[in-house]
Amino acid sequence: MGRGKIEIKRIENANSRQVTFSKRRTGLLKKAQELAILCDAEVAVIIFSNTGKLFEFSSSGMKRTLARYNKCLDLPETALAEYKKENEESKVVEILKDEIAKLERKQLQLMGKDLTGLSLKELQHLEQQINEGLLSIKERKEEVLMEQLEQSRVQEQKAMLENETLRRQVEELRCLFPLTEHVVPSYLEHQHTERKKAFVNNGVTCPNLASNPSNEKSDSDTTLHLGLPVDVQHKRKAPEKETFSKNSESPMTLL
């Protein structure tokens, strides 16, 4: 026997009414979910029982659905246009996400990863792409090296020109200021003068200095030029003084 048609009216029995409410509520929510999935519709269901309990279902969020409902009540045409725009934007977002996923997978494959699932033809194509990329990288690398080499040559030529300019300037300065003759250092002259003053203050006289000051000057100059101290000069002249005194005394003895 088939199921009989039920009269749509309030069920008086409380237990039967509660059982029917639970069954039909579950079926209604299930049908709303199926409708949202199958037809890509935005569905929202709000149910209050006779005892005040809330039961709801929303495919896109209850607040969003209610806000959209309120907009449709105020401006139905504008709300419909916004809904279409949101749908188009969501579709574009999904397409971009798919493209990004494909590019990420392609990048991993170029790095030699995630190669599972590729056929022999796809692997050969991937190998060809990698070889072409390596050739392009090598050519670019050679170009960069040649550019750096050319820059180094230019810098070297500039440095050579600067060195040549500086050399010419130095030669011009040497021509303008020629080298002077060698002069006796002043500290040696000062030392010789101090020693003369010391001999005079001590009352020591040298006959050779009194008789032939030119010889003394020449000897001192020679000593200064040779860098010898004055004491060495006096030691060398001491034997000559003794010989002179002996020769001067010999005639007096004969007389």
Q: What is the pLDDT along the chain (255 residues), one digit of tens a residue?
A: 456 677 788 888 889 889 999 999 999 999 999 999 999 889 999 999 988 899 999 998 899 898 888 877 766 666 667 777 777 888 888 899 999 998 998 888 888 887 887 888 888 888 888 888 889 999 999 999 999 999 999 999 999 999 999 999 998 888 887 655 444 455 555 566 666 666 555 554 444 444 444 444 445 454 444 444 545 445 555 455 444 444 444 444 433
As for how many domains the chain has, the answer is 2
Do 83 and 75 meet the contact criterion of CB atoms below 8 Å apart?
no
From the list 186, 203, 199, the residue with the least C-alpha distance to 233 is 199
Q: pTM here?
A: 0.33
Do 32 and 56 meet the contact criterion of CB atoms below 8 Å apart?
no
- Rounded to whole angstroms, how far apart are CA atoms 67 and 87? 16
Residue 94 within any structural domain of the chain = no
Last residue of a domain, which of 51, 74, 97? Answer: 74
Last residue of a domain, which of 49, 74, 99? Answer: 74
Range of the domain at 59: 11-74
